[in-house]
Structure 1
Amino acid sequence: MTTTDETLPLGLYEHLKSASLMSRTIPEGAQWQEEILEKDDYNIPELLTQFFATQLAPALESLKTPADQVELINRMMELLPQDAEEQNDSLLTDDDSNVIQMRELALTDAKTTRPDIPLSDVALMTNTSKDLNLNTEIQKELESADRVDLLCSFLKMSGVNSLSEQLKAIKNRGIPFRIITTTYMGATDRKAIDRLVEEYGAEVKISYQGDSTRLHAKAWLFHRNTGMSTGYVGSSNLSSAALTDGLEWNVRISNPITPGLIRQFEGLFESYWKSGDFTLYTASDQEKQELDTALAKADITGRKSKGLEYDIDSSLLDVHPFPHQVRMLEEMQNARSKGRHRNLAVAATGTGKTVFSALDYKRLCEQYGKKLKLLFIAHRKEILDQARRTFGDVMLKGNFGELLTGGKKPEYNEAVFATVQTLSGAALESYAPDYFDVIIMDECHHIKAASWDKVFNYFEPREFIGLTATPEREDGVNIADKYFDGYVATSIRLWDALEDHLLVPFQYFGIADGTDLRRINVRSGKYDENALENLYTKDEAERRLRIIVEELREKVDNPLRMKALGFCVSVKHAEYMAQKFNEVGIPADFLVGTDSAERRAEVMKNLADETHELTTIFTVDLFNEGVDIPSVDTLLMLRPTQSLTLFLQQLGRGLRRAPLKSVLTVLDFVGHQNKNFMIHSKYRAFARQGTLTEQDVKNPELPAGCHFHLDELTQKQVIKKIRESLRMNQNALIDTAKSYLEDMRRNSTDLDIRPTVIDFINRYGLGLPQIYGRNSKMTLPGITKPVATTWTSLQAASELYPDLVVPFQDNVAVETNKRVKALTHVHDTFRINAYLELLNTDILEQDMTDEQRRHAWMLLFSIWPKAKWDGSSEKFSLNEGLATLRKNRGMLQELESVWNFNAGTDTTSTLPLFEGEGIPLRTHALYSREELFAGLGGQEENFKVPGGVVNGVVPFDPTNTTALLVTLEKSEKHFSPATMYKDYAISTDEFAWDSQSATTPESPTGQLFQHHEERGRRIVLFARQHRENRLGPEPYMCLGTVKYISHEGSKPMHIRWSLDRPMPASMFQIAKIAS
């Protein structure tokens, strides 16, 4: 297709719709695709500003004199909505018709050396002969900086020498200089770090994870109090070659031009600085030894280990938890605070289960003020040996604990590491049931076996901790349900482990293999095994094999050097694949459950040996759990599964870190599926928000280094199933509910006991959004007005419970039913008990405490945000509202069921926001806008209602508080640095926040923020990730009271707050900007 000069080319645009654009000619047959931005989209001001700038620049250029240009600007300034004083302050001044640029504010006439690139400009620097020299520009930037931050993967003496004069100068001026670096590849010169600390007064933090590629960044930030901050981001480390003549590219950024990037830099650097991943280096003798050892260990050349005169016993260095382990420790403590002392922790292989359990044990000892008697149980001596070393590292004791195995008996019995085989025999009754204070059972998914069950039921410790990667077994037994009251105290998500670099990243490919499974029967979610075996070893075997080998050659660097596991449908299939691989020249073997221990050990040893020719082991279920070969770098998924548990178990076999292993390649061969096979189910592993969507398979949000791709045919099948599951036909939902209720009634001896919504969703593997997250309506027998879908209305529609239909004859009940979903987030027992007391008693307002009254309005505003019945212009009273709610017993039972379910799975610990003041809110609890409004007394000011509350700053004078309501991800659709780094957590107890755009430090609101403590005003921070979730508006977490630390800028003010109670680790993972 050809275009003329006047015709717009086909392609992507981000232009606002304007008359001039729409008048342009477009190619024949083409059409514009429009996106209507939501009215509260945070990107709109930025887009409008960009559009206006494109129109303003040519208009100014067309004017003849600077005076005319200034006059035009001032005329436009007068149109801006601001008060007269602000308007006059904002106008440009001219002097003899000249435009004046103010260059410096100083106490002397001496001029500070300026960078050659203007402070308000950006540039690309390449160190070519015609370009500016990066080293020279850095020297000039240092002269005018008020604070300097450097992020650099390694530091060299040559780089320090090239900046020595300027570094001396900033030390003499008292300029803070912070550096974050690493021991990666052993490339840093320890002497360079020593000089920076000792001679130039720099604060240096170091990552000692020398085998990790986590930090590659090279960047400088020159902060200036004038707002003219600048930065450099690129490829240059601190070395002479990189700064002067190396082929390095660096981008200069500037606060006036790229404020979003400067804010992003500041936020990320601050997050790194506050994290536990980097250790402060003060150049003490011990730190110098530790650094030399770490550099020598990471040195790929081996030169730094020569002449090393000392070594450090790394086993006695303090063990610090990773961020995900901090969260797990918190959640385990929260479980105990709720009276749970037999707890299950679920964590994937390779994510530090044993380290977590050791840290948990250490904290228990600290809480009790003594060394607690410990029993650690596993099924193999090798696991016990590793566990003893880990506990010794954590407890700072090199020879920690004693073994109880077939050949060893403990002498002191203070910390015993026992095999279950030995312990379940005669040794068991040598201990009193309550002898041990803490018992940790590793790999406790084996607990259903007789020996494990015997040990579990014999002992009565203060604390029992079960550790497993796989709580759900293939035989259908879930140990959480059977042994831990259905409660998982804490778990680590796959995403957390990948983002913390505990596992290697993966590249997943879903590949259509040409097989047709549509005629194979599916029973209980599984294909007929014999039919699959025939298909994969006879009917379509050769064609499928060719595809497998072709995909291997295309996607694996060298199949003859890979270390792979292939998961097959049967023993015969595993044997067949091994034979065929050998025939095509790819050395392979197979292992099955009937193989001897000797053969199994030999084959596994061969695969683990990098020098052995064996590339692949084909198996059926042997490697699903419990058996690890860390060097495995390729997985071949050769059997269909819809089990998320099985999929994750198989994926976990390859995610373990190993030397020289940088990525796991997963090839999943997918046939044309039977319509009854839920092909999409396993892909929930890639869903960030728990519910799988099209976006998760088309463009998933993955941890750094990971890749996910489905070929066209496979993607179509998966998306079709996702669409079917997300929009479960309303009639199908009603029919499913009716069938379930009829079945339950037939099998019940007490017809008065009715199944709850939780019983229903657990039976069919649904979630609350699939009941309450739909906007669809349904009709009930004898009711003319359509009603919202809830469990009560689904039961009423079944015609089994006529009493549930009656309340829907009242329009108020119909309106009430529609708002049930607004209370499905309630999770803390304190609020649940308060709500249930109000709903299940006849208490009146005049008999309530302040706390009860506010709880009542929290409940009522959740159902009726305007405090009015549908169609009424009059607000109802508190007593009228409660009386109406109490009538609908079916809805109350439904809410109680949901609330108790939430409380039973809740892993947070809530505390009163204010003690003894009648304010019912609690820190770390989730609240809707309506609840927080009422909880802080909003309705007590002339009977206000929460409808006007939006994100921002909300004063509540009755309780002397001001609430800050923060939505962390401002734009749901687009990545935008301008909005992404406005509000974020710097650490668990520090938060960066932007005021409203009109707030200045001198304004009444700005003054309140800065002086709230002396004025006695409490500032309370509420935060949420998104505006909406699948149930409607996302609730806020109450992060508690905050105190002012500092601020920068104006309109808006960039304020740093200190949290009085650290936020939960789970919220910090969401609110921080550094992964």
Structure 2
Amino acid sequence: MSSTDTYYARNAQQFIADTLQVDMQALYAPFLAALPANAQILDAGCGSGRDALAFQQLGHSVSAFDACPQMAEHASQLLGQAVPVRCFTEVHEVERYDGIWACASLLHVAENRLPDAFARLWRALKPGGVLYCSFKRGQSERLHHERHFTDADEARLAAWVQPLPGLTRTQYWSSADQRPGRSEQWLNALLHKAPSKLVTGGEAHPFLPHLCAAIHQAHQVDMAVAFIKTTGLRLLLPDLLESLQRNESALPPAQVRILTSDYLDVTDPEALRLLMLLAEQGAQVRVYQSSGSSFHLKAYLFAGQDWGRAFIGSSNISRQALQQGLEWNYRIDYPGDDGYLEAQRRFDELFAHPRCAELSDAWIDAYEKRRIPPTQAFEPGSTESEPPPTPSKIQREALQALSATRTEGYLRGLVVLATGLGKTWLAAFDVKQMGARRVLFVAHREEILNQAAATFARIQPSARIGFYRGQQRDYQVDILCASVQTLGKAEHLQRFKPQHFDYLVVDEFHHASAPTYRSLLQHFAPAFLLGLTATPDRTDNADILALCDDNLVYQSDLFCGVTERLLVPFHYYGIFDDDVDYQAIPWRNGRFDPELLGNKLATLGRARHALSTWRLHAQQRTLAFCVSTRHADFMADYFRKQGVRAAAVYADSPLSRGEALQRLSAGQLQVLFSVDLFNEGVDLPSIDTVMMLRPTESKILFLQQLGRGLRKADGKDRLVVLDFVANHQSFLHKPMALMNRSMNHRQLAEFARKAEQGQLDLPEGCFVNYDLQFIDFLKSLDSDSVQSDYRSLREVLGRRPSLTEFYRSGASLQDMRRQHGHWFALVASEESELPEVGRQLIAKHGDFLRELETTAMTKSYKMVLLEAFQELDGWREAIRMEQLAERSWQVLQRRRPLLGDLPEDYQGARQMPADWLSYWKRNPIAAWTGGRYFSSEEGLFIGNLVIAEPAIAPLSEMVQELVDYRLTSYATRLKPADDNVLPLPNRPQQVELAYFPSLKIACGHFRSSRADYEEYRSLGSHYGNLDPSRHFLARASGNSMNGGKQPIRDGDYLLLEVVGSDSAGKITGETVAIERQDESGDNQYLLRKVLKDANGQYRLRANNPDYADIQVTDELREQLRTFARLKAVIDPLEMQVGQRFKREDIPPLFGVEFNPGSWNSGHVVIDERNAHVLLVTLNKQGKAEDLRYRDHWIDEQHFHWQTQNQTAPDNKRGKEIIHHAALGIDLHLFVRDNKLENGKAAPFRYYGKVNYQSHSGSKPMSVVFAVQP
């Protein structure tokens, strides 16, 4: 026994006590980062077993030994496994361990024996493995306290390990002794063993990561394979495209040459079409025409500036060969093996062989015609194929809606689909459904265009697909994928006729209001235009919907995807980011200063916070989004130092995207820190945790990042989202995006209160939790000012909101106009950076802008004319009436919902009617030219405003913004409250009337003869001939009229008719609405009956006898203005027809409280109101098949209902149903389609009162009702 062994035997307990609790995390990190998941680790000289235990607890398989029996015994007890006593000379294993840990152990070996000790450990290490060792820093061999020490520096250690075969890299670093009172400096080293030259394949050693890594690093990529299957090519396509599209800042674009063959017709034609996409990017692709001879090459060659690498073996390009199959491929590295140079020469010769034809669409067409695919596999993967793509349930619904919208005559439509539900796939399916021959797909990012091209190739394999971007100019193709930045320029648009494309797809349509998009949309006139977006709410859709002719074809949000089980449920944690002071970072135009933001985010304190949060909540595979490459590298380095297998990946990172995903999927990585690469366009189903370590500038970006983890995968039951939020306006859009609705500050505060109480309405299986600090921040936003609403919306959007967006957000336009006069006056007061030309226009033409914003509209015609006027450039020169009428007709055809305004004989016309010009002159032209701002002369329509040339474009934008708002608000009046599959019966001659919450608000509007109201209600023909320009609805306030035979109670709905102030003689005996200015200058608004005494004196009388009559003296007459007469008091329930209510919200409609015992049934009797309430679910899930559909609509006016089992015609309840009219009982019908909606109890829609028609049967009875008109 050596003196060192004797020392440790005698002092084992003290040594264990001194070292067992020392923090070694910083040393573990680089070692563990180099290991695969579930690695085999040898702790060589394990001492107390401290390090072996740490590795074991991380899930690795650990073996250990020590030369000291006492140490080995302690380690054995600590690990719960045998720890043998042995020394380095007894290590005989061969290629068994992924990692060997020799911490402070080799330093006790004599220097002359160290080469043998290293050799033995090295032999035990697997190819590709790592060996960690540490020495006290120095240059001597010495004896200290009976122990032998061999000290080392970099030079001495390098000399000892230099003979080790396959040593590819040595990492050195220094560290200080972590034990208290110790000051020694240590040299640490990590020795990397070359991976095996033979890649053996299978799930443990797949070939794919080797290819991805080589593509990522190479300047030259050459591949020669016997066949290419689509399944395999898709695995390589992202890295190949990335290598072709590199910018010069890191590596130059790669030169890519691919050679395959038609040998035995194994190569997929679809794969060849995908290779044409690579050829579009500059790759050279050729096909060896075998003509019956064999072609069995499987060679992959890569070259950098001063290196080369080849893989030659058995793998063709198929999924099985690259990921799963046992395939041998031998690696040749140059310099070191000149065989690489020979392989390169032979490839060059073969690529130039006369039998090698350049791949083209024509060659593929001919190949498809003569190809006879093999029925039996002659090599692994030779017969594998992808199942034909089929639309999902949501996509099928959207396709049906798109087909229907074209049948209705629409030329444009918008579809909103959440990230992960397949927007691009939907477009490709619909192109095929419509049979479009020429397709234009427009987007603003390269990745989207590449993804779209691949998707269309999948749906239409025989289509010719090209690109229009950068320097690429493909014209003669079936499907053109174009960059809006390129094609949107006038000189490029002019190369295409407006009707050149049958079908136009605009992805990320939320960008479509930008000038480049608008010019493109105005130029092309396809048979159909489809706008696609994932934007989650109507506020974001507000402006862009006008560009799709106000035609929202289909919408399915994140919650729908989860409910339909197309996406996994999510557990969302809003983590308060108290390590960063976001208020101190400059914030301009909706963005933080990127450099300062990156500096603030890459700190140790924040990294510690992120790590602790991740350890508390994360699952197996995490994708983390960072703000910069520096941030990603910093976070990955910190996580690795804490023992987490982590890596950073971005455009120029050492790790390729494909290799990173493969390692993450295989469990070799736990966390991937990314910058931009994975925001969209990449399928990442295995991701089960998303960590958002950066602010996102928009809802779209937030949803794209969230969507990376929502896709389903085997064994994945939920997504965990760790989102770092703070008390800054940049984070306000996140709750809105998550909950699929816009919110102003008041609504955000209400959301926070619901979140705090756990009352958020979420799909089944979903969970949302915000840290209390963020909840408090949201609650502090509570405010009801117009300025607050405006600023909150601007903060969310990152720009000035439009009036439509402000309207859609729920802000009060009445308050806005009362305080500022009109919209652009508010804009001018809030926007300090508003261009001076815009500010001058608002000051000079404010009256005109207010006129457009508030002019009365009983039809849409005024705004349609203005849109046509602007499209014809009317501010520059007068327009002929014929042109204006024709363009107006075209605008109406685009905006299909407005066609209902036309006379019935015009509505179905495909061509402009012969008398259209005269009709148009009588309507909006006469209305506009009768005012100050437009005139007509000699057949011309003239804008009277004098506008300088530089101000024309800004004015046009302002006018269009107002037109879009007026048409949006007008169209809202024409639509039902909510989409629902239940039919809402046609109620005869329903009329939309303006609705005001009070007489005061109503009076304010009609005083100025404006029609800038925001709400409407419908009334039927039984109230007489109603005119929307004269009749309106308002709520009564107070109890002065609560009395007599026809009491008017506080809150009752009133139908009123506008009258002039000189109508007193015409309204004697009627109840009127009066405005009275009292002595303080404040106005009062009264309902009173007008009476006339015998002496001709007028009195105003209240129905409530507690209120005295008001004598109308001459002095008082000057203070009174009669502005409306009462036509009827409306039953409040009638105003709710068509609205939807939760079960617990229905009882208050009848003045009673919700009692679950009675209201959870389908038939509720309210005796005090003489009312029966029928609560019907049409599709009764869980019931027997023959019971599910007993309740149903017969037609739009008649409903078939089955009573409860105990109801019979001769018992009390049955009689009350049959004879309800005679008994004075009202029957109220509430219906819903399904029991659940988005995983929650579905609301009921109120259809109003129904009348008994007939019945059959008993216990239960089958009853037919007619819906009251």
* TM-score normalised per structure 1: 0.42
Structure with greater strand percent: 2
Rg bigger for which structure? Answer: 2
